[in-house]
Structure 1
Amino acid sequence: MPARALCLMWGLAISAAALGPDPTPRVAFQWGDPRRILPHFSLRGVSNYDVLLLSKDEDTLYVGARDTILSLGVDSTGTMAFKNLIPWAPMDEKKQECVFKKKSNLTECFNFIRVLVPLNQTHLYVCGTYAFSPTCSYVSLDTFTLVSGAQGQPLLLDGKGQSPFNPQHTYTAALVDGELYTGTMNNFQGNEPIISRALSNRTLLKTDAFLRWLQADAAFVASFSIPNDDKVYFFFEETANEFDFFEGLTVPRVAQVCKSDVGGDKVLQRKWTTFLKAQLSCAQPERFPYNVIHHAVALPQPAGGTVFYGVFSSQWEMGATGGAAVCAFSQPAIKEVFNGKYKELNKGSLRWTTYSEPVMVPRPGSCSVGPSSDKTLNFMKEHFLMDEKVEPMGLRPLLEKQDVTYTRLAVHQVPSISGTQYPVLFLGTDQGLLHKAVVLPGGTHIIEEIQLFQEPEAVRNLLLSPAKGMLYVGFSRGVLQVPVANCSLYQSCADCILARDPFCAWDSLSHACRETRAGANVTHWLQDVEMGFPNDTCPQSRPKGRAIGRSQDGVDSSVVKTLSPAPNTVLRLPCPRLSALANYNWRYPEQRPSEGVAVLADHTLVLIAQNRTAGTYECWASENGYSRPVARYVVQQPRGGAGHPGYHSRVDGIAEEGVEPLSPHRSYWPQFVTVTVLLAVTLVGAVAMALVSYHDRLKAKSKVQGCSSPPATKASQQEKVPLSGAGGDFQFPTSYQDGACCLQMDGISQAIDADNNRLSAGPGLMDGAPGAAAGKA
């Protein structure tokens, strides 16, 4: 088989692995990496930058934070400038009420901004938790202040049903034709979810809590109004009551209400008459579903229609063993389910079954013109759940990633230089990472991973500015500005093509990887987003012999270092990992490794500088059928003395890696002699101490024996009869018949009475003093 065919097959195998169930980010940037500079804005004393809103011209970024509304000037150069600020903290009496209700005055009794929408050209509408008393107001853009009421004080409106009470509760809001559609919790306890419509001259509408259209734990994540569609869609999750399981099953949902809904006259007064909900399905066939939805976005399609993207996780797989998925749902698929069969609750068996009777006309839940009949509304009261599930596009997730939880999502449709549109996903995680991925026909490819924060924390919000090519990230301590493209990182044609970034293409005239958004004439631009084959895309330029390795566009592509080590010096030769999807291998002098050479797990080559290890060492990377040298080291013959620093060359596309300093050749004989002497002195001291201790024990023993004191243990063993005078035949040993012997114990004179087996205390010794012998046996 030709070598080119083998390379092609190897490249396809690597691509399949990279686009498999758990794709790996090709490039990863740690926090503070100079290759990925992220402008940052924060203001002292302000936290929880949770809500982001761009002005229509995208020159101003409005931020809703804790007790504060900010106005920032943003531009495409990567700067965020402070413009204005509105302090909006709760009144003292509201904070006191909050504390009285057993809420924390340190973390909860504040005004967390939750709704920030453009009302018109001159005003914003804003709502906050306001110390567990939801409150709304208007912001004048001319003066950037809260609109004042008749008394000159800020005009405050009741925000119940528009903002949650608890800052930890999820929420969603969408302004449609001047009317505010919201999904949130409607009470202090947090067990009454509601979908409502406010800011309207028409009747205020909401879901019916008594009919349990929404379960008590419903959590809203997004809402959308689609152009040329007469419905507003809500995405949320709740515990399903249509299934009988031992454990409560969380189910992701999509709900619809009609914009033209005005409520019922007699039945369902001030209630939605078009509310319907259906289950979303995000799962691989024959596997546990991803049933917890965290966020969703809507992306209009160039050919018409809308695709909804959502990020999911599983309630059964959480933490380090869990995973995340991205699923896409088409607008026609959602409409088909809402036009399908209903479910109904069998009141006898208390089970949900499929409604099989003929459907009345006009269809219940449809956005028909004119009031509905009482019969239709009574039907809607009990038939609000659809029978079918909304299946994802392709009947499987677009992306599955293990050991991660995606919390936020932003999607941008990017045209390639050929005109093909590619969805690019920006995914924020609960650990403060950002994944940039492109959806391809063969799977989803993660282009890069960025560590956004120094300390891990969840990404709170993502807002895309397509006109400026910026992504704004809200978190607890500020706002980050992330350029959507980082094309200057790729400094060779091969790198630019292997990245498979639809934002980037190789300009063969300027020999630079450039952002496609900035280019007008793309005649000489090269790009291969779907396959990423440099061999087929970049100009051919074969290196000659074993000269310095060159990429196929003729640019030097290896880090070259010349090393002059001292004999027996240990050298560590790092291999730069330019891509996590590449395979790395070393090429040795004479095409084979010699003794004293080893490769570590991180592909670092370790060798001992000797005559047999001198020569040229090259680290090669193979990715997608393309091989190139990424580092080259010329190790010279060892010479005496300290090593000489080699020269360094900075070449296109390669991040220069340093070599550890070479240690000079030196003798360790003085240290060896010193340690030996110290050890000998220590041993001699230990032996002397042992001898002194032994001598003291011998001296004490001889002193006692010179006193002819009877050993108590031996005496006790020799007693055969009681010492009461009975048994006159009993004889003591000869050594005991010498009478009393005086012992000096703690300076007190004592005498041993051998006849009565006791100590007779001398003058000054009290009865029962320590040292007295035991009584009779």
Structure 2
Amino acid sequence: MTLSGAILSLLALLVFLSAGSSAATLSARRDTILGSETFGDVANFSTFLLDRSSGMLFLGARDAILAVDTKKLNEKKPLKIIWDVSDDKRKSCEGKGKTEGDCRNYIRLLEFLGDGRIYVCGTYAFDPQCAFLNATTFTLEEVDGVVRMESGKGKCPFEPSQHYTAIMADGLLYTAATSNFLGTLFDISRATGPEQERIRTERSINWLSDPEFVSSAFIEQSAGNPTGDDDKIYFFFNEVAKEYDFYTKVKVPRVARVCKSDVGGMKTLQRRWTTFLKAQLVCEDKPSGQRYNVLTDVFTMQHIPGDPSSTHFYGLFTSQWEQVDLSAVCVFSLSDISKVLDGPFKELKKSCDNWINHEPIPSPRPGQCLNSALKAEGFESSLKLPDKVLTFVRDHPLMENSVTAASLLVRKGISYTKLAVNLKDGSEERRAAVLYLGTDRGELHQVAVVGQNVTLLQETPLFTSQEPVNNILLHKGHALVGSPLSLARVQAEGCALYRSCEVCGRARGLGCVWSTKEEACKQTTEEPGPGDVVDAALKKCNVAEGRCNPSPQVLQVFRGLRLLLSCVQLSPRPCSWEYPPHRHTRQHNSDLEVVVTDDNLGNYVCTCQEGGPAVRDPTPCRRAAYYLTLEAPSVEKVSTSEGRHILALYIFAILLVLSFVAVLIFFVKRRCGIARNLPDNSLSSGKGRDLLGSSATPQSPSSSSLFSDGFRMAEKRNGTATSTTTTTLLSNHGNGGHSYSDTLISSNSSNGHGNSLYANCNTSGSGRRLGPEFLSPDMLDRRTGERERVRSEGGERESGEGEEVEEGLRDGLGEGMKRLEEEISSFTMFKSPAPLARCEESSI
């Protein structure tokens, strides 16, 4: 191998090691990420449909449908069907005032029909259309060589960004979507089946008031239930509350229920729901009274498999009133929802009188599903219900009481987008669950909930910060995580997932225990002892810090510096700080902003309140501790991992400097050699301005700039090679990096917020850079090199001019090396400041 080849290999290896740290971590866990290199120009993935028997995952995208074998993600190429819009159709859509990007066919619905086919619907340039996909042959049904399509109005939204949900129940499609081109009409409907049984909601603000649909669930009653109760479909959405008379629009989360056998009324509510009832969902922290009023996602699961009455709905919430990112999780049981829907109706007060005579509830009870008792009274169908019952339902769709739940988890500064839950076996009081939460920054968080304690286990960056997580499916011990551009398969179950004693200790409530003999995390059936399970397990790892006893982070600071001390809040209870008394602090939710002065050096401790809703006196838990000093921290106070990171950075910088010097020397010698081989009259005749020979190319190694477009360095992102034209010393990825600036230092840095789901998703991975770029050889004066080659030939040049060239070359090299030393010395890591570390769970 030549000297140039060895140097280039060394540089490529260094860039790979620096930029591919996250990809290496994922590879060690046997995770797989597919991106644009696999899917090509197909983007805007929005819909997932998994065949759990075969493991085939169907993806709905823009103008395409894909099929991916989850068992062989890296071995088999995805199957693809192109279903796009004709040019005339697209131009007609654009002529109506819509954008070129929206006038495409975005696949928003994929549902199994039960006969080996999949029902597929797309926006089709603001004219929704549906088709039939043969899952076995993976082809769309055609008629005379043309895709067989039927109208998708009421089954699929008109535009890609509209909120929408749908569920298939016994071969019939139930949807919640907009039903007109302008997006001003909203329906919850039975969209397929016999024409006379296709029914929808009443067009009234009392039924639906500017809703944003979120999720839906089909609850199938067991065949042998004693009451003969009907199957039900539940819809979750946000809407503008008409029962609150505020100066601004107040959003409230709702749950609505309809019955599968409902076919509408005979005269009143013809082809309208006669069983449509809705209630408000309340997710709140009871001690503080804070409510989270915007629902973003719902995950449905049965706590006892096969028992529909054990169904629970895990809701992901945020707040309309908060100015910062905030996410909360609440759990609602099916039994609680049923009790509210069987309770009193809300009376719309149209008068200012103090005394209002409530309308009596007619019999049979309005809105109830058909059961054995009603059928025994002669009401075999909703068509036989009396008009007074149907009129009452039409005027009273909202229930008086709300379905209330205490917040299970609260994260401030984080915006979660999707939620999935895996329940662990155990007794009722020791039942544990693992929450898989996707963020708007392309990350997957795992949170363990054991009893009244919530512990953050892992934060895994999967995609770029511009790719929000929009789908999570759990299948055979893995999580299938999607974004508008990528698909990832992540190991999600098993104690072997936790590869260190500390992380394994945090998962003690999930039945994991660290084996010192095997140095691995193992599953155990041994019940944990009394007290704090996590702290007891961490003490066995020979570490001083526990879940509520973190080691102080020593930070070297200077006067006037503004920094943000992070404190991860998992419990709904508030957090407080203890610090030296002064006025130069301000709390941002659970984090603390500090402006460094001589008076505010010392200890900073964040304490959060732990405990569930049943605990009247919550236990304080110390979440983070910092020590600010103007002096360099002692060796004893620096953790081993931090020392290794600093040592690695030193070695990395030294290797880059040596590589740069070697490349510089090589190019100088190469140019000298080219000058010696040129004929004497090539320069004297004035034709030597172009020093490249006739056979040389701009991409040859004799190019004056190593980092020009002719040589693009390889950069690894999530295991995928991309190209970049610059070399950086450090890169921050996800929440694990620390960034210093002259205005604010954040120990919980991020790459920004994710863009809209259907924005221009053709983005490339970009990492933030810390420090300036390295000097490239073409920063030196090229004319100095030319004079040096002329002098080396010993031609007609005078000796004085040759000495001037040699002196200029020495000056250029000396100036370049001096500037290189100044650039490297300007990096903050060579000034030995203490890196800002996040508190215990978030630093996993």
State TM-score, norm by structure 1: 0.62
1 CA distance for matches of 2:531 and 2:479? 24
Is 1:142 aligned to residue 133 of structure 2?
no
Distance 1:293 1:580, change over 3 A: closer
Give the structure 1 partner of residue 182 of structure 2: 189
Give the structure 1 partner of residue 292 of structure 2: 290
Note the C-alpha offset of 1:79. 4.2
Note the C-alpha offset of 1:630. 6.7
The CA deviation string for residues 564-585 of structure 1, in whole angstroms up to 9 with x for no partner, is xxxxxxxxxxxxxxx989xxxx
- Please say if residues 344 and 354 of structure 1, whose CA atoms lie closer than 8 Å, have aligned partners that are also in contact: no
Distance 1:300 1:513, change over 3 A: same
Note the C-alpha offset of 1:407. 1.5
Distance 1:41 1:632, change over 3 A: closer
Distance 1:94 1:355, change over 3 A: farther
Is 1:207 aligned to residue 200 of structure 2?
yes
SS at match of 1:137: strand
Distance 1:354 1:54, change over 3 A: farther
Q: Which has the higher helix share?
A: 2
Give the structure 2 partner of residue 128 of structure 1: 122
Is 1:273 aligned to residue 274 of structure 2?
yes
Distance 1:479 1:165, change over 3 A: same
1 CA distance for matches of 2:193 and 2:631? 77
Match among 296, 310, 314 for residue 315 of structure 2: 310
Note the C-alpha offset of 1:191. 1.2
Give the structure 1 partner of residue 104 of structure 2: 110
Q: Which amino acid in 2 is paired with 1:289? A: R
Note the C-alpha offset of 1:418. 12
Give the structure 2 partner of residue 299 of structure 1: 301
Distance 1:551 1:80, change over 3 A: farther
Match among 59, 64, 67 for residue 68 of structure 1: 64
Distance 1:630 1:32, change over 3 A: closer
Distance 1:217 1:492, change over 3 A: closer
Q: Which amino acid in 2 is paired with 1:62? A: F
1:250-269 counterparts in 2 under 5 A? 250-269=251-270
Distance 1:57 1:421, change over 3 A: farther
Note the C-alpha offset of 1:129. 0.6
Note the C-alpha offset of 1:214. 3.8
Distance 1:604 1:35, change over 3 A: farther
- Please say if residues 297 and 409 of structure 1, whose CA atoms lie closer than 8 Å, have aligned partners that are also in contact: yes
- Please say if residues 172 and 193 of structure 2, whose CA atoms lie closer than 8 Å, have aligned partners that are also in contact: yes
Q: Which amino acid in 1 is paired with 2:214? A: V
- Please say if residues 423 and 439 of structure 1, whose CA atoms lie closer than 8 Å, have aligned partners that are also in contact: yes
Is 1:224 aligned to residue 217 of structure 2?
yes
Q: Which amino acid in 2 is paired with 1:483? A: Q
1 CA distance for matches of 2:91 and 2:270? 37
Note the C-alpha offset of 1:347. 4.2
Distance 1:605 1:632, change over 3 A: farther
The CA deviation string for residues 96-122 of structure 1, in whole angstroms up to 9 with x for no partner, is 2211111111x2011111110111251
SS at match of 1:332: helix
The CA deviation string for residues 129-168 of structure 1, in whole angstroms up to 9 with x for no partner, is 111101111101122111113x331110100001000111
Give the structure 1 partner of residue 84 of structure 2: 89
1:545-560 counterparts in 2 under 5 A? none
Distance 1:496 1:230, change over 3 A: same
Give the structure 2 partner of residue 405 of structure 1: 415
2 CA distance for matches of 1:189 and 1:247? 24
Distance 1:36 1:606, change over 3 A: farther
Give the structure 2 partner of residue 727 of structure 1: none
- Please say if residues 492 and 551 of structure 1, whose CA atoms lie closer than 8 Å, have aligned partners that are also in contact: no
Distance 1:362 1:455, change over 3 A: closer
Give the % identical residues. Answer: 34
Give the structure 2 partner of residue 427 of structure 1: 437
2 CA distance for matches of 1:35 and 1:528? 33
2 CA distance for matches of 1:205 and 1:90? 28
SS at match of 1:343: coil
Note the C-alpha offset of 1:534. 6.4
Note the C-alpha offset of 1:293. 0.7
- Please say if residues 235 and 252 of structure 1, whose CA atoms lie closer than 8 Å, have aligned partners that are also in contact: yes
1:205-604 counterparts in 2 under 5 A? 205-228=198-221, 230-285=231-286, 286-302=288-304, 304=307, 305-318=310-323, 321-348=324-351, 355=358, 357-368=360-371, 369-370=380-381, 371-392=384-405, 396-415=406-425, 421-465=431-475, 467=476, 469-485=477-493, 487-488=495-496, 490-491=498-499, 493=501, 495-500=503-508, 502=510, 504-507=512-515, 510-514=518-522, 516=523, 522=524, 531-533=532-534, 535=536
1 CA distance for matches of 2:20 and 2:212? 33
| Unpaired stretches in structure 2, ≥5 consecutive residues | 1-18, 222-229, 372-379, 547-566, 570-601, 605-624, 645-653, 655-735, 737-810, 816-844
Give the structure 2 partner of residue 589 of structure 1: none
The CA deviation string for residues 572-613 of structure 1, in whole angstroms up to 9 with x for no partner, is xxxxxxx989xxxxxxxxxxxxxxxx999988999999xxx9
1 CA distance for matches of 2:504 and 2:527? 9
2 CA distance for matches of 1:351 and 1:310? 37
Note the C-alpha offset of 1:292. 0.8
1 CA distance for matches of 2:407 and 2:428? 27
Distance 1:72 1:599, change over 3 A: same
SS at match of 1:411: strand
1 CA distance for matches of 2:428 and 2:353? 57
Distance 1:31 1:50, change over 3 A: farther
Match among 17, 24, 38 for residue 34 of structure 1: 24
Note the C-alpha offset of 1:451. 2.2
Structure 1, 489-498 or 257-266: larger mean CA deviation: 489-498
1 CA distance for matches of 2:629 and 2:75? 45
Distance 1:400 1:244, change over 3 A: same
1 CA distance for matches of 2:446 and 2:211? 30
Note the C-alpha offset of 1:349. 5.2
1 CA distance for matches of 2:190 and 2:108? 16
Note the C-alpha offset of 1:80. 7.0
Distance 1:91 1:216, change over 3 A: farther
Note the C-alpha offset of 1:464. 1.6
Aligned residues: 534
Give the structure 1 partner of residue 52 of structure 2: 56
Q: Which amino acid in 1 is paired with 2:90? A: K
Distance 1:358 1:267, change over 3 A: closer
Distance 1:464 1:490, change over 3 A: closer
Structural RMSD (CA):
4.1
2 CA distance for matches of 1:327 and 1:418? 18
Note the C-alpha offset of 1:40. 1.5
Distance 1:455 1:284, change over 3 A: closer
Note the C-alpha offset of 1:232. 0.5
SS at match of 2:390: helix
Distance 1:131 1:503, change over 3 A: farther
The structure having more radius of gyration, on CA atoms, is 1
The CA deviation string for residues 468-503 of structure 1, in whole angstroms up to 9 with x for no partner, is x11112212121222114855645545422344727
Give the structure 1 partner of residue 747 of structure 2: none
Q: Which amino acid in 2 is paired with 1:313? A: T
